[in-house]
């Protein structure tokens, strides 16, 4: 059985938000299971036989290799040996008070001279590895708005199936239920509508990093055709970020959108 994602686990839950698992809502509990913070058995309504049947498919996914401790320490060492001020203009950042300020989804994230991150955002674990990789590997090439699917990026094809299952499919299912999520993306994350992109019904451009934009395109359900959602990346994305970090950013976006739905209680 293939790995389950957050929403597939959520479908198995009673959706009563009973709090008996120690988490505020069933959707938040599903996300906690995928992070490894909660076991499925903490839900008192799930049958033991079902939990045993799901087995490995409901266990948390191993962290991406970009998140490995050794890799992070190596990135920090390289940052420590870099003149941060020299990176600012090239990477669309600012040098302030001996720290580099980088915009991520409209919010400031600060990197000090030792490669440690400071921000006002609490849930930012998924930002750190891509941000450090951006500072170390980014060429500073400006995006040209030539949009490509994940599979067409360098080294994207081997991960394309996983990307679709872990990111695009659950994001589509989330938007199906909460189409006004796009309004929040514009308001909270400084998203910009992109008219005429791939003839989609709704298209939004967001900037997880200054020179690594993403295009979210959504097609509504119509007659016998199901809805669909695709993520696109600028053709320069690989010049500014390794494929593993691009993957982490996209899955991180999904996590943020799920938290928005929980926090704001928005519904279509």
Structural domain that includes position 175: 147-264
- Within a domain: residue 89? yes
Kindly state whether residues 202 and 252 are assigned to the same domain: yes
Q: Comparing C-alpha atoms, which of 100, 122, 118 is closest to residue 210?
A: 100
Kindly state whether residues 154 and 251 are assigned to the same domain: yes
- Within a domain: residue 109? yes
**For 52-109, how does the pLDDT look when each residue is reduced to its tens digit (9 = 90+)?**
888 766 665 544 444 457 888 888 899 989 899 999 989 999 998 889 999 888 888 8
User: CB under 8 Å to 26, separation ≥6 — which residues?
Assistant: 10, 13, 14, 15, 16, 17
User: So what's the pLDDT on residue 265?
Assistant: 56
CA 98 to chain centre: 29
Kindly state whether residues 208 and 256 are assigned to the same domain: yes
CATH at residue 53: 1.10.15.40
Kindly state whether residues 158 and 256 are assigned to the same domain: yes
Percent of the chain with pLDDT over 90: 38
Calpha distance 172→178 (Å, rounded): 10
For each of the chain's 268 residues, which pLDDT tens digit applies? Answer: 456 777 788 888 988 888 888 877 887 788 778 767 788 888 988 888 888 888 766 665 544 444 457 888 888 899 989 899 999 989 999 998 889 999 888 888 899 888 888 776 654 667 888 999 999 999 999 998 899 999 999 999 999 999 999 999 999 999 998 888 888 888 888 889 887 667 889 999 999 999 999 999 999 998 888 999 999 999 999 999 999 999 999 998 888 888 888 776 544 4
Q: Comparing C-alpha atoms, which of 95, 85, 178, 77 is closest to residue 132?
A: 77
Kindly state whether residues 77 and 13 are assigned to the same domain: no
- Within a domain: residue 142? no
Kindly state whether residues 103 and 81 are assigned to the same domain: yes
Kindly state whether residues 196 and 104 are assigned to the same domain: no
Calpha distance 113→74 (Å, rounded): 14
Q: Comparing C-alpha atoms, which of 133, 148, 172, 115 is closest to residue 234?
A: 148
Structural domain tally of the chain? 3
* Dihedrals phi, psi of 19, to nearest 5 degrees: 75, 0
Calpha distance 191→183 (Å, rounded): 9
Kindly state whether residues 27 and 73 are assigned to the same domain: no
């Amino acid at each position: 059985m293939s790995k389950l994602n957050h929403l597939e686990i959520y479908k198995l839950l009673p959706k009563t938000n009973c709090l008996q698992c120690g988490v505020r809502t069933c959707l938040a509990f599903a996300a906690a299971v995928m992070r490894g913070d909660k076991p499925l058995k903490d839900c008192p309504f799930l049958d033991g036989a079902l939990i045993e049947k799901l087995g490995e498919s409901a266990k948390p996914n191993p962290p991406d290799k970009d998140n490995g401790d050794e890799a992070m320490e190596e990135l920090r060492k390289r940052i420590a040996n870099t003149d941060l001020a020299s990176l600012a203009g090239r990477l669309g950042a600012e040098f302030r008070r001996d720290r580099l300020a980088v915009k991520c989804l409209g919010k400031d994230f600060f990197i000090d001279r030792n490669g440690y991150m400071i921000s006002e955002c609490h849930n930012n674990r998924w930002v750190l590895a891509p941000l450090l990789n951006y500072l170390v590997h980014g060429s500073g090439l400006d995006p040209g708005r030539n949009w490509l699917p994940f599979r067409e990026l360098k080294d994207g094809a081997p991960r394309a199936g996983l990307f679709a299952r872990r990111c695009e499919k659950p994001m589509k299912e989330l938007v199906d239920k909460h189409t006004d999520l796009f309004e929040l993306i514009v308001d909270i994350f400084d998203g910009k509508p992109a008219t005429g992109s791939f003839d989609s019904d709704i298209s939004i451009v967001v900037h997880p990093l200054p020179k690594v934009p993403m295009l979210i395109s959504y097609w509504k359900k119509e007659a016998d055709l199901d809805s669909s959602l695709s993520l696109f990346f600028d053709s320069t994305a690989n010049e500014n970020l390794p494929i593993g970090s691009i993957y982490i950013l996209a899955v991180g976006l999904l996590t943020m959108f799920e938290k928005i739905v929980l926090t704001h209680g928005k519904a279509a």
